[in-house]
Chains A and B, each alone.
Chain A
Amino acid sequence: MPAFSVSLSRLRKLSGSVNPKDRILTREAAVKRERYGNLTCRGADVTIRRIMADPKTASASETSKISLEQVRHVARLARLELDADDEQSLQANLSEILTYIDKLNELDTTNIAPTAQVGEAGTPMRDDVVTNAPAPDEMLANAPERAGNFFKVPKIIEG
């Protein structure tokens, strides 16, 4: 994570040596110092890290769970235009989160049924009847572009 090393080195210059054990705390402190100028450490952040600590999480930055190619592929699926910076930071964020998610593999779920819905209503049916009157002006009021009673879109078919 490039942003992180910049802050850390800046902090080193400011405060002399840094104990590697305090790396996590220091990183947050560095972010805060950059943004707000005053350094306040909140012990809870460190302790939450400890409680949720997973040996795999610690190495997240070293091994990437998702390649830049995959990031670009998923962005195409999700219809999101990304610039090079977005791609880099998403790769780093998603890798860290996916590494954390890997802790689920500690659980054997071979014979466990998946839960998709927790409601009790099931899938009720209703009659297919029209309940509202046509209101084209109301429905088109939020359209970015309209032509008559239609939503206007860029030309799709060539020729």
Chain B
Amino acid sequence: MTELNRLTITEARDLLRKREISARELTRACLEQIKLVDPKLNAFITVCAREAHEQADAADARLAAGDAPALCGIPLAIKDIYATRGVRTTCASRILENFVPPYDATVIAKLRANGAVFVGKANMDEFAMGSSTENSAFGPTRNPHNVERVAGGSSGGSAAAVAADECLGSLGTDTGGSIREPASFCGVVGIKPTYSRVSRYGVIAYASSLDQVGPFAKTVRDAAIILRDLAGADPRDSTCSARPVPDYEAALTGDVKGLRVGVPKEFFVSGIEPEVEQAVRAALKSYEAMGARMVEISLPHTSYAVAAYYIVATAEASANLARYDGIRYGLRVDGDNNIELYNRTRARGFGAEVKRRIMLGSFVLSAGYYDAYYLKGQKVRTLIRRDFERAFESCDIIATPVAPTTAFALGEKVSDPLQMYLSDIFTISVNLAGLPGISVPCGFDPQGLPIGLQLIGPPFGEEAILRAGDAFERTGAVKRRAAIL
């Protein structure tokens, strides 16, 4: 069999268990694909060939012994925001360029225990701040469907790596759309679970009340398989929910009869690219054909979400990033005293967008501005949450576009931060409300760029959005297209 790297996790899992393929050859196929296409894409900051082969051999031993969890022997890419013991973890920043964590993030430890193989650390916007992966200190990631286009961000490397078959699945993080937007731009599936569903321990913090861990995969079923391994309580993350973790794969019944799909009128006003709107509307039609019912809903505070987000997220970021001071780890630029050392280290270590957000966050928290900005942002966050609570009284899930456009050109928005922020207008409110959201491919524009459908669930409604996403995938309306490389 050739091109093992093109397999889905579901297919590979079965072949591995039947011992028709080995984890070693599957891993080798992914590493060869990385060697072949990554010079064009730059989806990886660090490739872990030696470690991956060791993990694959260990997985083969477990598979041979008949002890094979779902992800045993499955090659995954890991966003370079996760602490990985002994493997450089940069967060795409000069300030952490040579940082080697002495510990694993909880989700990394869980995946390791289940025999997953890590082929490398994926590129991202520095400290997860961005929507295009152009803010990486290690150069931008390019879109596998058109290398002149961005991969989306901040988890652009993780999305592109899956789209280009450099791995079978990957991990990203989502603070304002950083899983769903790149999933949409690269034509793969991406889930942001409910806030607190997955442990954040060992995930380098950006905005702690919004950050959430989630997977990318080629199919909804594959994403469900990874999510099951990630979710669950963690004594090391006090915000992490103790709710039992359902078998997400078992939820994929294909049945959406009677499902009430909320369609927010605010998301379909002019401003969306016509091809994006058409593809999303066509997806809604196929839900109706499967027996689901469309319900018009209103999320009246949608247009305030981006503004509220850039207060709350930057305020939290300014506090979280205070730890990078050049003393205990990371870059140090010397100064005559410790204050000068901090000032210079941070000036040299952080990129422009990170500085911008630290400045904005420090400003909205500073004396005299706290009430006008930070408190106001938190109050508007309450209004946005209530919009969703009210909406879910009349529907089971909500369907929207993921982003107003398909992947934009490299360089198109770098000089205009506000424009860049607005590419997340449909995803940001979901983070502010702490809800689960999934991006499922629902079509292509005339230039062949993928379009994503966003399905939003109530808190802990992962099963509902996975079931709906899988049901749409089963219609076969959208065929997965190989990346053009």
Contacts and interface: CB of A to CB of B under 8 A. Distances in A.
Interface string A124-153: 101000000001001101111100000101
A121 B196 contact: yes
A51 B270 contact: yes
Contacts of A154: 334-338, 341
B394 interface: no
B328 A32 contact: no
A2 to B, nearest CB: 12
B338 A156 contact: yes
10 contacts: A35-B411, A48-B419, A78-B358, A80-B358, A98-B360, A106-B304, A118-B209, A121-B239, A144-B330, A155-B337
Chain A interface residue number, banded: 35 or more
A103 B362 contact: no
B455 interface: no
Given A44-B405, A156-B338, A79 B382 contact: no
Interface string A38-53: 0010111101111110
B411 A145 contact: no
A118 B433 contact: yes
A121 B242 contact: yes
A17 interface: no
A114 B382 contact: yes
Given A81-B347, A86-B355, A151-B328, A138 B408 contact: no
A97 B195 contact: no
B213 to A, nearest CB: 14
Interface of B: 98-100, 102, 195-196, 209, 235, 238-242, 269-273, 301, 303-304, 306-308, 310-311, 318, 322, 325-332, 334-339, 341-344, 346-347, 350, 355-356, 358-360, 362-363, 366, 373, 375-383, 385, 404-405, 408-409, 411-412, 415-419, 421-423, 425, 432-434, 459
A62 to B, nearest CB: 16
Given A42-B412, A50-B270, A90 B330 contact: no
Contacts of B459: 120
A48 B409 CA distance: 16
Contacts of B240: 119, 121
A101 interface: yes
Contacts, number: 218
A114 B273 contact: no
Contacts of B195: 118-119
A81 B344 contact: yes
A112 interface: yes
Interface in A102-126: 103-107, 109, 112-121, 123-124, 126
Contacts of A18: none
B360 A28 contact: no
A113 B307 CA distance: 18
A51 to B, nearest CB: 3
Given A47-B272, A80-B350, A80-B358, 17 more contacts: A42-B405, A52-B271, A52-B422, A80-B346, A80-B347, A82-B347, A94-B360, A101-B311, A103-B304, A104-B308, A109-B380, A114-B381, A115-B385, A118-B195, A121-B240, A144-B326, A156-B337
Nearest to B336: A154
Contacts of A96: 417-418
A31 interface: yes
